[in-house]
Structure 1
Amino acid sequence: MTELLFRDDAYLREADAVVLGHTAEGALIVDRSVFYATAGGQPGDSGYVVWPGGRMAIATATKLEGGAVGLVPGEAVAMPPPGTRLRQVLDWERRYRHMRMHTALHLLSVVIALPVTGGQIGADRGRLDFDMPDPPDDVAALDETLNALIGRDLPVTETWITDAELLANPGLVKTLSVMPPIGQGRVRLVRIGQGAGQVDLQPCGGTHVGRTGEIGRVEIGRIEKKGRQNRRVSISLMA
């Protein structure tokens, strides 16, 4: 398995790793990864790796069998052989925007308290799909409420529960179509706010900012009808 450094510290921008091997598709398998691997609607990180005598752009990172992470090259260059020690460097600006957007989407699921049927995170724009038969009456009011939550500068923390605890508390899961990954004994919960000021708690393996104030102002865009009861709500980072 690859040690998921991004899960322990979302603000870590660089880290050393050792090459374990290559996939048949040409990805680099590493023993520890600062690159987030594509999952849960969040894109894999990009950046580059460097080692004595070589450098390679990384286009994205993906999950592999057995809990490993593969770094996908962004260019055709000679691959470092297994055993090579290299330095991983994130495209930090892109990752940080993903962190801001991902946290903002958690808050969107608070403002629109309906089951979530899908989602996607981008560096500038993200969206959640809701089981929403009728469109909201006042989008401007939703926008104001969402930005007010962001402006409270609430702490974003994490805790872990067992698989059994999650199964015993199905209300923690907001998504209808995708269950959080279970089977490894424990599940990570992301909490926004603390104590009486808690506004959200849900399973999530993505990267988030440490406080909601880091998100900055967002804007709710078009609300699109996607099927009989499905509606897509998009938001954009304003800076």
Structure 2
Amino acid sequence: MSEPLHINQHPGTNPPSFECTVVDSQVIDGDYWVQFDKTYYYPSGGGQPADHGTISADGIKYSILDVKKRSEILHLLSDSVNVDSLVNQTLTAEIDQQRRDILCRMHTAQHLVSAAADELFSATTIGNQINTQKTRIDIGIESRDSFSKDDLESSVNNYIDSAVDVSMSFRPRDELIEDPLVRVNMDLIPKNIHELRVITIDGIDICPCAGTHVGNTNQIGYIEIGKVKSKGAGKLRVEYTLVD
């Protein structure tokens, strides 16, 4: 089984290069995938897209275009290669740092947008899709008239200005259920998971999350809220971008 090193890495910015060994290879629908004994690559999930990067062996460099978690963590190679020949080889892996850092900023900002929407409008986040160019969040809100795009943007940017630490820990599920800063519906998390990886933005938000994040809100940069669309009764889709 691949050791998912990203789970214990926080902050998620500036991921290290690392040595790994290919332990398995697969061809799935004509695509070439490899499994490492350990990996810092983040697999797509929780609304956050996968890391990209490269692996190198014997002077040959291959691009990693996608990472997925099935029964194991699989890495998609860009080239049609004899993947079986890579098995048992030790490689040097490098994650695209610019892409990872932007996704860390976007993902941490998503926690702040969700927290601010809850505080300002009693709105619940019901979905999100993080990306490098823009991120969208779907919120459930009782009164559309209570929503203010400007108030939401201002509140999030004030959180960012406050330079609040962002930390990672592992906490018992039962402990989180009683915490008022946990805004997610804990019933949506399988009950057989008793200890959860948690991202805490001090005094603002506590969220079970396996994604990658910055270490302080001042590393996000400001956000700008763009389109706000109705997605049916009691639902809004809010899009935002980062402002460097």
TM-score (norm 2): 0.87
Q: 1:169 to 1:145 in 2, by over 3 A?
A: closer
> SS of the counterpart of 2:233?
coil
For residue 72 of structure 1, what is the aligned residue in structure 2? 76
1:57-84 Cα deviation digits (max 9, x unpaired): 100110021xx21001123233242211
Contact 1:128 1:234 in 2 (8 A): yes
Q: What amino acid is aligned across from residue 140 of structure 1 in structure 2? A: D
- Match for residue 50 of structure 2 among 34, 41, 44: 44
Aligned counterparts, 1:143-182, within 5 A: 143-166=153-176, 172=182, 174-175=184-185, 179-180=188-189
Kindly state the Cα deviation for residue 134 of structure 1 after the two structures are TM-superposed. Answer: 3.3
For residue 228 of structure 2, what is the aligned residue in structure 1? 223
For residue 117 of structure 2, what is the aligned residue in structure 1? 112
Counterpart-to-counterpart distance in 2, 1:137 and 1:169? 26
**RMSD over equivalenced CA pairs, Å:** 2.2
Q: 1:123 to 1:134 in 2, by over 3 A?
A: same
| 5+ long unaligned stretches in structure 1 | none
- Match for residue 24 of structure 2 among 21, 26, 37: 21
Counterpart-to-counterpart distance in 2, 1:151 and 1:219? 14
Contact 1:50 1:87 in 2 (8 A): yes
Counterpart-to-counterpart distance in 2, 1:181 and 1:71? 26
For residue 237 of structure 2, what is the aligned residue in structure 1? 232
Counterpart-to-counterpart distance in 2, 1:182 and 1:205? 17
- 1:141 is aligned to 2:144: no
Identity between Structure 1 and Structure 2 (%): 27
Kindly state the Cα deviation for residue 141 of structure 1 after the two structures are TM-superposed. Answer: 1.9
Kindly state the Cα deviation for residue 218 of structure 1 after the two structures are TM-superposed. Answer: 0.7
| 5+ long unaligned stretches in structure 2 | none
Equivalenced residues, count: 232
Q: 1:101 to 1:75 in 2, by over 3 A?
A: same
> SS of the counterpart of 1:18?
strand
Counterpart-to-counterpart distance in 2, 1:20 and 1:220? 44
- Match for residue 209 of structure 1 among 203, 214, 227: 214
Q: What amino acid is aligned across from residue 134 of structure 1 in structure 2? A: S
